[in-house]
Structures are given as C-alpha cells and as structure tokens.
C-alpha cells in the first residue's frame, strides 16, 4: 500500500526537521511500489497538499490492481525523441517514410518537439492543427493528422501516457473529388506531348492512356508491354538518382514485393512505345529488390547525359513537365504550370468513366487501395444513369406490364 508522510517530521536530513507544527505547510510525500510486489521498484512523488499525495497513492494502487499502471516518469520523453523512435519502427514504403519524416522534421518538431509526451494537451494539438492548416492542403492536413493521432495512440499502447491528447480532436476527411478544371483536355495533353523534352515524350501517352503514377511511368521497362496490356511491377525509388542507391526500383504503392497489376493498353500506345525504344534504346539497369535479390531490366527513361544521375526522380521529371506546360502556354494567372503529371492520371480515369467503363475496373487499373478511394476522387464523373436504371428495372421486374396505368383496373 502507498504511504503518505512529511519528511520534515521523519527525515533527519530534511532542512525543516524536526517540525512540530500540526499544520506546518511543508510538502507531503507518497511512497509506493511499481507492479511486482516487493520486487517492484520503489517510487516517491511530492505534493503541496496531503490530499493530493493521498489521491495519487490511491490511483497508483488502483492502477496496479487493474493492470493499467503507467510509470509517471515514462511520459517525460520529448515528442521529438519519441517521434524518431516511432518512425524507426514503422514498416512503410520508402516514399511514405520520406513524407512522414519531412512532416515530422518541418512541422511537428518545430511546433511541439520540445514538449514531453505527458505535457502535451488537447489544446496543444488543436493549435498545431490550426497552424498546419494555414500552410498545407486540406487533404494533406487530414492525412498528416492521422499520423499524429497514431503517434499518440502508440505512445499510450507503449504505456508512456495515460490519456491520448488527440483522441477528441476532430479530423474530418477532406473532399478529395477531383475538380474538372484540373483535368486537361485531349488538345492540352497533345500540346504537352509536343513541348516536353524528347526523351520524355512517350511518358505523356503512357500516363494519359494507362493512368500510371509518375514513379511507375519512370520505372517503365521493356518487359512491361505484354501485347494488349502492360504489366507494372515496380516504381522508381526516391533515391534512384544516387550512386549509392541499391534499390532503384521498389514495389508499387500498396503492394508487396512480387505483386503487380495489369492495365489494358491501346494499340497506339504500344506503337509509340516501340518507336520510343527505337529512337532511345532502353538502358540496362541492375538493382536489388526488397529481398536483396539481384534484378535487371532495360528501362526506357534513364538519363542520357553524364552527370544526371543513374535514374530520374519524380522531381526531375516534374521539372520537365512544368517546362513543357509553360512552353505550350498552359499556365495559371500567376505564371505557374496549369497541370502536373498527376493530371494525366485524372485524364485517364475521367475518360474511361465518361465512356462507360465500370468504376471498379478503373479502380483496379489505377492501383487504388480500395474502390472507396476511386469513388471519392472520381465518383462524380460517372455519367448519370437514371433513365437506363428505370428501363432496366422495368424490363427485369415487369417486362409485360402495360404502359397505361389505367390498364390495372379501377381501384376497389
């Protein structure tokens, strides 16, 4: 059981010993043991009032009985230190790790990094969310706040804190529906194709015609084309341009090593792919997969100039894409490029859906984790089918029903 006492009356080493006053106003100490009986570590906490010391002792004993005891000192670790440990334990892709680390280093640590886990309150989290909402997109805030919430949830699971300060902080999903103004027209797609650097020309019909992500398109190789479909197995690593990078190609987003997805491909894309390979001979690329096994493919978009790295990154390609947009006159009022490489993915999805391709098929070809993602982004682009639905249900359920409602007879 916890013991409550005043050192001024029992400890000869205390500067106030011996204190004979009944209400002396000196501090009260509560002594208790951690779980483990007599082998549990002895702990002491000091409080200004006896009632506070007794309440703390009672809580510690109750937590031990219920198996919910948490070391009061455990939460004194800084958020900076814990976030680093948390990230080191995550089994996530290289790109996800890079994004999370950037957010932690550039936003979470500058705002809350010096505070201890136990010292962070709901109010702190709300102020933090308000701050990042001023500089980050709504969808990014939602995604990053999920990370923050998981950090504190994990800290509670690790028995470092008793209460999760993020639990009651609302994190409403952003409206992910693509704006139709963000989707280029076919004429605009062709303009970008005309103005982009020659070695990247094939990326435009490839992305617009198959919906590949930038990183997947840059990893395109001679083994991808399989007749009337392409097989996508890898994407480019964010470190692929570095000489010391071994895993230049990594598994697809939401996929494990060895998994792939097949996407139907229009004949003209196959033809342009062969034409590109004739003009820009594919270059052998040796790399290690996640299992450490040696792999070799002949990639289409390796740099052709010395000093440009081993493989292009998404940033490198985006520079050329923006340059092409500006050269084609596709710019915003502030002079920035009107579109991004991801806009070509929107073109693919919207074109397929507008022409009646089922959304679950489009979702699979895009490589979305779930069809919900596809519906959230592109669902509003699916053509309305009110008349078609009425006709189908009529034929299915009452194929011989008279069209004139009076034919049913007069009501009794």
Q: Do 180 and 339 contact (CB within 8 A), yes or no?
A: no
Higher pLDDT, 110 or 70: 110
- Is the pTM value of this prediction over 0.75? no
Among 104-108, 167-171, 199-203, 386-390, where is mean pLDDT lowest?
386-390
Number of independent structural domains in the chain:
3
Q: Do 325 and 337 contact (CB within 8 A), yes or no?
A: yes
Model pLDDT for residues 129-138, shown as the tens digit of each residue: 999 999 998 8
Same domain for 275 and 150: no
Model pLDDT for residues 235-253, shown as the tens digit of each residue: 987 665 565 555 578 888 8
Q: 328: Cβ–Cβ under 8 A, 6 or more apart, which residues?
A: 188, 191, 192, 194, 195
Model pLDDT for residues 306-354, shown as the tens digit of each residue: 545 568 888 889 999 999 999 999 999 999 999 999 999 999 999 999 9
Among 158-172, 215-229, 305-319, where is mean pLDDT lowest?
305-319
Same domain for 314 and 274: yes
Whole-number percent of the chain with pLDDT over 90: 52
Q: State the residue range of the domain holding 195.
A: 185-318
Examine residue 302 and state whether it is found in any structural domain, yes or no.
yes
Question: How far apart (Å, rounded) are the C-alpha atoms in residues 220 and 200?
Answer: 12
Q: In this predicted structure, what is the pLDDT of residue 268?
A: 95
Same domain for 87 and 63: no
Out of 264, 293, 318, a domain closes at 318
Q: In this predicted structure, what is the pLDDT of residue 307?
A: 46
pLDDT, average across residues 162-188: 90
Give the burial string for 336-350 (b: 16+ CB within 10 Å, else e): ebbbebbbbbbbbbb
Same domain for 91 and 56: no
Q: Do 125 and 148 contact (CB within 8 A), yes or no?
A: yes
Mean pLDDT value across the chain: 87
CATH of the domain at 143: 1.10.150.130
Q: What is the DSSP string of 233-265?
A: -EEE-TTTTSTT-S--EEEPTT--TT--EEEE-
């Amino acid at each position: 059981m916890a013991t409550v006492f005043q050192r001024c009356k029992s400890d000869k080493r205390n500067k106030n010993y011996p204190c004979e006053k009944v209400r002396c106003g000196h501090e009260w100490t509560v002594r208790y043991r951690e779980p483990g009986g007599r082998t549990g570590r002895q702990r002491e906490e000091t409080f200004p009032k006896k009632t506070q010391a007794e309440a703390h002792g009672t809580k510690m004993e109750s937590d031990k009985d219920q198996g919910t005891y948490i070391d009061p000192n455990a939460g004194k670790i800084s958020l900076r230190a814990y976030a680093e440990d948390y990230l080191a334990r995550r089994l996530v892709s290289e790109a996800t790790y890079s994004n999370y680390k950037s957010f932690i280093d550039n936003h979470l640590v500058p705002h809350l990094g010096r505070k201890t886990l136990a010292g962070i309150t709901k109010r702190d989290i709300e102020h933090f969310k308000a701050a990042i909402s001023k500089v980050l997109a709504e969808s990014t805030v939602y995604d990053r706040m999920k990370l923050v919430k998981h950090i504190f949830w994990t800290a509670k699971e690790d028995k470092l804190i008793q209460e999760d300060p993020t639990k009651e902080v609302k994190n409403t999903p952003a409206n992910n529906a693509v704006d139709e103004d963000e989707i280029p027209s076919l004429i605009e797609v062709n303009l970008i194709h005309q103005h982009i650097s020659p070695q990247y020309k094939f990326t435009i019909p490839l992305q617009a015609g198959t919906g590949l992500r930038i990183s997947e398109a840059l990893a395109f190789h001679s083994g991808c084309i399989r007749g009337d479909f392409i097989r996508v197995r890898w994407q480019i690593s964010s470190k692929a341009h570095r000489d010391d990078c071994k895993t230049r190609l990594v598994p697809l987003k939401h996929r494990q090593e060895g998994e792939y997805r097949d996407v139907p491909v229009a004949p003209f894309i196959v033809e342009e792919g062969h034409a590109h390979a004739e003009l820009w001979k594919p270059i052998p690329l040796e790399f290690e997969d996640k299992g450490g096994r040696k792999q070799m493919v002949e990639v289409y978009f390796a740099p052709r100039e010395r000093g440009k790295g081993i493989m292009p990154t998404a940033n490198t390609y985006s520079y050329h894409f923006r340059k092409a947009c500006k050269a084609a006159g596709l710019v915003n009022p502030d002079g920035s490029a009107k579109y991004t490489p991801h806009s070509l993915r929107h073109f693919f999805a919207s074109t397929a859906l507008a022409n009646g391709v089922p959304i679950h098929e489009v979702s699979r070809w895009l490589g979305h984790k779930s069809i919900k993602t596809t519906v959230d982004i592109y669902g509003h682009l699916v053509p309305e089918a009110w008349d078609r639905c009425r006709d189908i249900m009529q034929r299915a359920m009452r194929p011989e029903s008279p069209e004139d409602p009076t034919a049913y007879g007069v009501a009794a």
